[in-house]
Amino acid sequence: MGGLRRVLLYAGVWGVLLSGFYFGFWRPRLERLKQLQGQMVTQQSVINQLKRDVETYPKTITAETLGAVEEDLEKLIARIPAKEELPAVLKQIRQTAQHSGLEIIAITSVSQQQKRENQTLTIPSLTYQVTAEGDARNVLELFHSLEGGVRLVAVEEFSLRRINEDEHSVRADFAIKIFHSDNKALTSGHER
């Protein structure tokens, strides 16, 4: 029986030593390895997502966004008349005003030297002073038609005066800026 005790004693001592080794040294290392493995898996998934983003990002920018920008630029260029077409644009503005129920009293060109000093645009433009009479609502309708119309026109400043106290008719004085092209190639080939 003495040999059996000795074996049990050795087995107990080795069990305690192995348990101490496992819980004190080996298990913390395994837990740390599991944490590192989890971090590596997370980092790898982030890297894979970044790769997918890098692969799709240039295609999104060049194909969709650039196409939309080019389409918008073509629409803008189509709205810019050649300088030779400005009399036709002024005639169209006069017709639009008459269609809105307004009477154009005068359209005069503003001095170009005065406007060039203040002009910082790369697209040339001419400014005209317009005087019209009619209903105030029709004046606002004309402004909306001009700025949203076929040609690139901006209403810069305006003033309204009531003509007759008993009626709703007003006299509108406003400046319009018509952007134009000196280069025929800019506007040729585009729908107007």
Measure the CA–CA gap between 21 and 18, rounded to whole angstroms.
5
* 54 band by pLDDT with thresholds 50, 70 and 90: confident
State the Cα torsion 114-120-126-129 to the nearest 10°.
Answer: -60
Token pair recorded at residue 116: 């060039």
H helical segments located in 119-162: 136-147
| Domain limit, last residue, from 18, 50, 78 | 78
Whether residue 138 is found in the same domain as residue 161: yes
Residue 192 falls within a domain, yes or no?
no
Contact 146, 96 (CB under 8 A): yes
Query: Do both 23 and 89 map to the same domain?
Result: no
Given a contact cutoff of 8 angstroms between Cβ atoms, the answer to whether 82 and 181 are in contact is: yes
Q: Tell me, yes or no, whether 71 lies in a domain.
A: yes
Sole residue written with tokens 């969709």? 64
Q: Tell me the range of 5-14, 108-117, 165-174, 177-186 where mean pLDDT is highest.
A: 5-14
Q: Could you say which of 46, 78, 110 is where a domain stops? A: 78
Mean pLDDT for 62-79 is 80
CB atoms within 10 A of CB 166: 7
Do 116 and 183 share a domain, yes or no? yes
70's tokens:
């080019």
Decide if 160 contacts 137 (C-beta within 8 A). no
> Residue 136: what pLDDT?
83
Q: What is the pLDDT of residues 130-139, one digit of tens each?
A: 999 988 888 8
Q: Rounded to whole angstroms, how far apart are CA atoms 28 and 49? A: 32
Of the two residues 58 and 179, the one the predictor is more confident about is: 179
Q: Is 178 helix (H, G, I), strand (E, B) or coil?
A: strand
Q: 156 and 96 share a domain?
A: yes
- CA atoms within a 13 Å half-sphere pointing along the CA-CB vector of 18: 6
Residue range(s) defining the domain that contains residue 130: 83-187
Instruction: Report the alpha-carbon distance of residue 77 to residue 187 in Å, rounded.
Output: 6
Give the other-Cβ count within 10 Å of 59's Cβ: 9
Cβ within 8 Å of residue 89, ≥6 positions away: 81, 151, 153, 178
Number of domains composing the chain: 2
